[in-house]
Amino acid sequence: MPDCHPGLARYIRDFAQQPGYGAPLPGRDAGTADLFGQPPSEHNAALQKLRGDKPARQSYKARNSPLFGLMSEQDSHMTIQVFGHKSPDTDSTGSPIVWAWYLNEVKGVSAEPKLLGEPNTEAAFMLQRWGFEKPAIIEDVADDAAVVIVDTNNPAELPANINGADVQAIIDHHKLVGGLETKGPIDITIRPLACTATIMHDLMGDDAAKMPEAVKGAALTCILSDTLEFRSPTTTAHDKAVAEKLAADLGINISEYAAEMFAAKSDVSSFSDAELLRMDSKEYEVDGTKFRVSVLETTAPAVVLDRKASLMDTMTTVASEDGVDQVLLFVVDILNEEATLLVPNDLVKTVAAKSFSADAAGDTVVLPGIMSRKKQIIPNLKV
């Protein structure tokens, strides 16, 4: 008998004795692998001990554990959607998978990762490399839908009805923007680290060791992506330590694996100019001027810069369609640790001069040492 309040013990015992408790969900047998390519996890040990039976198995859509406890009856029948920002990069693709695993397999709360758009090529590589199905892409969320937001807290990067949803938690590493409304008090974790997956690893505590290899692989990929293999100025010693621990657990050479990731990220041949301009972008306003700030991180910048004429032509169309005044495109050279800004007009020339003290004599300007939109580009933008 576990040590707990007598009333709670009776509740657990009564719950555990319900007919059919612990049976597989319809269409799933007890050994069916879940979304993560792993056998479903075991039920809570306290419940197993009270029932006196062998550990039951649960599918990917796990039942709520009564020990998780403070969720309403309505919430207990609702699957939490976990998603990041629009134009999902590797962190906004992988971190929802990591946290959905944690909610399902550790907390016993039904959760599913979602995407707010097509993942970029590096994120697609991560899904393929670690054997994940691509999470479903959603356009919006319903009123009162239970959601957890990761890798952003900016309403402009989230579904239109996000304030109508039941936001239950936010896990992020960006500055607090404001504008989100919740149904009640929630858990908010925003930390000055390079990657959401690093924060999640910390929040899990000892339970992080329970992650199957595929989930560890997703977390590692997120950290290496957001830190550009520790080259980005956003990198902290803690991000690096967590990545090295995950790599050691997986038996992976970080440099070799990162090279595979960046090769996948650099292959943009199948994308149109408009897709490239939106692929990894965020909307940002400076003194009344609205920008779409696009970043393309690559080990082959010449491939992108060879398309500069058509990319600059397409900026006008994308800006008009997206309701912004100007698209800014920074082509980040991962290996040489510099960015090239495309300069299609006088507005961008002024941005280059005032923001980076750069004299743009032609249609491009090189910005040495500029690697991070979050830490170096957005905070310095001036018009």
61-90 pLDDT tens trace = 332 333 233 344 344 458 999 999 999 999
Domain CATH code at residue 362: 3.10.310.20
Task: Mark whether 185 and 88 lie in a shared domain.
Answer: yes
Q: Among residues 257, 285, 305, which one ends one of the domains?
A: 257
Instruction: For residues 303-332, give the mean pLDDT.
Output: 97
Whether residues 157 and 211 fall in one domain: yes
Q: Residue 26 above 80 pLDDT? A: no
End-to-end CA distance of the chain, in Å? Answer: 67
Residues 108 and 251 in one domain: yes
Per residue in 267-280, pLDDT (tens digit) is 999 999 999 999 99
- Is residue 162 within 8 A of residue 141, CB to CB? The reply is yes
The average pLDDT across 363-377 equals 97
- pLDDT at residue 193 greater than cutoff 80: yes
User: Number of folded domains in the chain?
Assistant: 3
- Reported as a pLDDT band with limits 50, 70 and 90, residue 43 is very low
Domain boundary among 257, 292, 310: 257
**Residue 331 clears pLDDT 70, i.e. is over it:** yes
Task: Give the whole-angstrom CA distance, residue 310 versus residue 356.
Answer: 25
Same domain (yes/no): 210, 150: yes
Look up the pTM and report it. Answer: 0.78
Q: For 299-312, what is the mean pLDDT?
A: 97
For residue 33, being part of any structural domain is answered with no
pLDDT of residue 19: 47
Instruction: Write the single-letter amino acid at 245.
Output: K
* pLDDT-above-90 percentage for the chain: 79
Check residue 77 and give its pLDDT.
Answer: 53
The verdict on residue 194 lying in a domain is yes
The answer to whether residues 279 and 340 belong to one domain is yes
Report pLDDT for 151.
98
Would 118 be classed as within a structural domain?
yes
Pair 328, 359 in one domain: yes
Name which of 62, 91, 193 is nearest 149 in CA terms: 91
Pair (299, 240) in one structural domain:
no
What residues make up the domain containing 177? 70-257
- Are residues 110 and 79 part of one domain? yes
Answer whether residue 304 is part of any domain. yes
CA distance 292 to 282: 6
DSSP 90-104: HHHHHHHHHHHHHHH
CATH number (domain holding residue 220)? 3.90.1640.10
Q: Is residue 196 part of a domain?
A: yes
Nearest to 182 by CA among 200, 170, 199, 196: 170
Judge whether residue 381 has pLDDT over 90. yes
Please check whether residues 249 and 124 belong to one and the same domain. yes
Mean pLDDT in residue range 89-96: 98
Do residue 163 and residue 75 come from a single domain?
yes
Q: Which two tokens stand for residue 20?
A: 């059919």
Instruction: Read off the DSSP letter of residue 111.
Output: E
Same domain, 314 and 278: yes
pLDDT of 21 > 90? The answer is: no
pLDDT higher than threshold 90 for residue 2 = no
Q: Are residues 314 and 343 both part of a single domain?
A: yes
- The answer to whether residue 290 is domain-embedded is yes
Phi-psi region of 27 (alpha: psi -120 to 50; beta: other; left: phi over 0): left
In a domain, 263, yes or no: no
